[in-house]
Chains A and B, each alone.
Chain A
């Protein structure tokens, strides 16, 4: 089954997540990707039923399938991108999947600290595109 569109719900209180969300919108993708701040009213209205919303990276397909957390949410984001799908497949295979899970879990757990080092996104116009 091949989703026709993805919605990515990210933690808007984390600079790493906001930067990544912006990056995501700029990449050539196989399916349209909508990024949405997890705490935004639109996200609450449409996906408030998902308990992990805000705590974990959540990806929702247009057909209702939901992925969340590390590495699932991260791998789904990579899968949607033309340049990164080979990596999504590689990192989900046996052998590398453990390593990928550990890496993404670590990034997810320490996202606030990493974001604090990176600072907020430097672009002018991206703030309203990713925080809409």
Chain B
């Protein structure tokens, strides 16, 4: 009886903490990602918005799913074991969220780098300019 109560407490606290963490992270990502992507897709703001939305939806699904998968586990003997279990699970969740967050940042950075390379001007200054370039053959 005591064990079940302790486990239930762990589940509730874990559930609330996990969901609020994921929501908070996703909102942060959405807000700051918008600024970042607006710079990357400066010619197409609707594209920036769409990419941002899709990334955040993926973030939600991945992290909530993972958080729920982490939930079931061993049955704690007493309240000390229960709090240890809670702390361990939150630790694992936070670490995973951190990893996924950095993967996300990497994706942003990659998109930005790709766009910068595509738009890069010639890397060396020309030595002369022909007055009447005849490029037609």
> Which A residues lie at the B interface, using CB under 8 A?
1-3, 5, 7, 30, 34, 36, 42, 46-47, 49-50, 60-69, 71-72, 75-76, 79, 85-86, 88-89, 91-92
Count residues on chain B whose CB falls below 8 Å from chain A CBs: 19
CB-CB under 8 A from A72, the residues of chain B are: 124, 127
In the complex where A7-B135, A34-B137, A62-B135 touch, is A67 in contact with B126 (Cβ < 8 A)?
A: yes
For B131, give the chain A residue with the smallest CB separation.
A64
A63 to B135, CA, bound (A): 8
Query: Contact at A1–B128, with CB atoms within 8 Å?
Result: no
A66 to B131, CA, bound (A): 11
A45 to B118, CA, bound (A): 33
Query: Contact at B129–A85, with CB atoms within 8 Å?
Result: no
Give A72 Cβ to nearest chain B Cβ, in Å: 5
A71 to B127, CA, bound (A): 12
A63 to B126, CA, bound (A): 11
Query: Contact at A66–B135, with CB atoms within 8 Å?
Result: no
Query: Contact at A67–B137, with CB atoms within 8 Å?
Result: no
For B116, give the chain A residue with the smallest CB separation.
A89
**B69 contacts chain A at the CB level, 8 A cutoff:** no
Chain B, residues 114-134, CB within 8 Å of chain A (1/0): the string is: 000111111110111111111
Query: Contact at B122–A60, with CB atoms within 8 Å?
Result: no
Q: Which residues of chain B from 96 to 120 have a CB within 8 Å of any chain A CB?
A: 117-120
> Which B residues lie at the A interface, using CB under 8 A?
117-124, 126-135, 137
User: Which of B123, B127, B133, B135 contacts A89 (CB under 8 A)?
Assistant: B123
User: Which of B117, B123, B126, B132 contacts A61 (CB under 8 A)?
Assistant: B126
CB-CB under 8 A from B121, the residues of chain A are: 1-2
Give A108 Cβ to nearest chain B Cβ, in Å: 15
Query: Contact at B133–A64, with CB atoms within 8 Å?
Result: yes
Query: Contact at B130–A49, with CB atoms within 8 Å?
Result: yes
CB-CB under 8 A from B122, the residues of chain A are: 1, 3, 61, 65, 67, 76, 79
Query: Contact at B126–A89, with CB atoms within 8 Å?
Result: no
User: Which of B123, B124, B132 contacts A64 (CB under 8 A)?
Assistant: B132
